Amino acid sequence: MVNVKVNLEKRSYNIHIGVSASNLIGSFMRNLKVSKKLLVISDTIVGDLYGIQMVESLVKDGFAAELYCVSCGEHSKNLDMAMELYTKAITLELDRNCAIIALGGGVIGDLSGFVAATYLRGVPFIQIPTSLLAQVDSSVGGKVAVNHPMGKNLIGAFYQPRMVLIDIDFLSTLPNRELYTGLAEVIKYGMIADKKFFTYLSDHSQQILDKRPDALTEIVRRSCEIKAWVVEQDECESSIRAILNFGHTIGHAIEADTNFSIYNHGEAVAIGMYGAAMISHHLNMCSKATVDILKHILLQFNLPVSAPECGIDDLFKLLYRDKKVLDNKITWVLLNDIGEVNLCNQVPENIVKLALAEITQSNILS
């Protein structure tokens, strides 16, 4: 087992990472000193695969655990679903010591975390992420949210989990497309903070794509370490945390413009990172060679670099729904080099539109 600590004073917590780590759920939960009654929230796919055995294991350890599954996918991340979960929590008579456990991908983590943050003004929250994206990113750092039809994650909070428990075994059943989507956020960490890690990804691409447990453990561990390091400096995103949003300004616009149904989150972020890199190059912040290195690794991990279904003007309007917009100016996360980014709110409209034109064309792959 590997342990990464997130140091946030009273809100500090551990991320436990390991093959078969979920077998230890009962003893980890006992250490948290929460009530015996708890609610495990999952989706129908993950619930069928792992939910029943997780609940049985908790029950064996003396917990009164109940499983509730919502339908799969981004369309469950909304206020109606949150309401359904509040109703479940009230019916079960959960009190302020009763924990909510998110067992699933980022959709389940964000939705359950939002419910945990708001039900009774906050109950203990535990993340057991099962997708690669959730293991490397969404389970750590406390951003919880639901979507509004007009934009991504527009209703949410910062609410840290009490523990993150990552079982690498879960990834054995993850479909390839979902593996690639998680890799987009992993590539993000290399781009924003760690050139050596970026090189590791490129040197070990086959082991990663083959889901070798040692390679997966390493990318999960290093990603969590980088995320913890950023979040510890700026929990509520008033400065450096914005770098974790590299690729997201355009990525979230693509997700909203396509009604959350063509590209999943990581794919949209992949296209967004390529767009942000193009902007950086047009502003002479980074070389064309750097942009090409990014494009190469995205394609190597089967990720898209263009969204031909989207229109430049629609995307441009949607950029202004980004949470980093202040005084009608977008804060862009731009690239200096692999492993180094900067925040910039002075990008001319014509440069943004040039990059949007590049990422909405259909023959970009060559």
Binding residues, by number, are 106-110, 130-131, 143, 152, 170-173, 185, 248, 265
* Residue 7 DSSP class: -
Pairing relationship of beta strands 13-18 and 2-6 according to DSSP bridges: antiparallel
> Are the CB atoms for 242 and 213 separated by under 8 Å?
no
CB nearer to ligand LNCXM5UN: pick between 185 and 257: 185
- Positions in the binding site for ligand NAD (CB under 6 A): 43, 45-46, 49, 72-74, 77, 104-108, 110, 130-131, 133-134, 137-138, 141, 143, 153, 170, 173-174, 178, 181, 185, 264-266
User: Is residue 241 at the binding interface for ligand LNCXM5UN, with CB under 6 A as the rule?
Assistant: yes
CB nearer to ligand LNCXM5UN: pick between 211 and 321: 321
CB nearer to ligand LNCXM5UN: pick between 22 and 223: 223
Stretch 306-345: interaction string toward ligand LNCXM5UN, x if CB under 6 A: -----------------x----------------------
Q: Which does 245 bind (CB under 5 to 8 A by kind): ligand LNCXM5UN, ligand NAD, none?
A: ligand LNCXM5UN
Q: How many residues bind ligand LNCXM5UN (CB under 6 A)?
A: 12
Our answer to whether residue 323 is catalytic in this structure is no
Q: What is the Cα–Cα distance from 168 to 130, expressed in whole angstroms? A: 8
Instruction: Single out the segment in contact with ligand LNCXM5UN by CB under 6 A; choices: 35-43, 201-209, 238-246, 270-278.
Output: 238-246
**Phi-psi category of residue 146: left, alpha or beta, with phi > 0 → left and psi -120 to 50 → alpha:** beta
- Taking the CA atoms of residue 61, residue 64, residue 70 and residue 76 in that order, the dihedral angle to the nearest 10 degrees is -90
Q: What is the Cα–Cα distance from 77 to 81, expressed in whole angstroms? A: 7
Give the list of residues 6+ apart from residue 10 with CB closer than 8 angstroms, or none: none
Residue 97 one-letter amino acid: N
Q: Which does 47 bind (CB under 5 to 8 A by kind): ligand LNCXM5UN, ligand NAD, none?
A: none
Pairing relationship of beta strands 151-158 and 143-148 according to DSSP bridges: antiparallel
**Closest residue by Cα to residue 137 from 157, 116, 162, 110:** 110
User: Is residue 248 at the binding interface for ligand LNCXM5UN, with CB under 6 A as the rule?
Assistant: yes
- Residues from 115 through 144 that contact ligand LNCXM5UN (CB under 6 A): 137, 141, 143
Token pair for 319: 């950029």
**DSSP per-residue codes, 321-354:** TSTT-BTTB--EEEEEETTEEEEES---HHHHHH
Minimum distance from residue 310 beta carbon to ligand LNCXM5UN (Å): 18
CB nearer to ligand NAD: pick between 218 and 237: 237
Our answer to whether residue 252 is catalytic in this structure is yes
Q: How many helices (H) and strands (E) does the chain have?
A: 15, 11
User: Is residue 245 at the binding interface for ligand LNCXM5UN, with CB under 6 A as the rule?
Assistant: yes
> Are the CB atoms for 278 and 358 separated by under 8 Å?
yes
Minimum distance from residue 77 beta carbon to ligand LNCXM5UN (Å): 10
**Closest residue by Cα to residue 198 from 274, 275, 265, 293:** 293
User: Is residue 244 at the binding interface for ligand LNCXM5UN, with CB under 6 A as the rule?
Assistant: yes
**Closest residue by Cα to residue 127 from 84, 167, 75:** 167
Residues making contact with ligand LNCXM5UN (CB under 6 A): 137, 141, 143, 152-153, 185, 237, 241, 244-245, 248, 323
Q: Supply the residues annotated as catalytic.
A: 121, 143, 185, 227, 237, 241, 245, 248, 252, 265
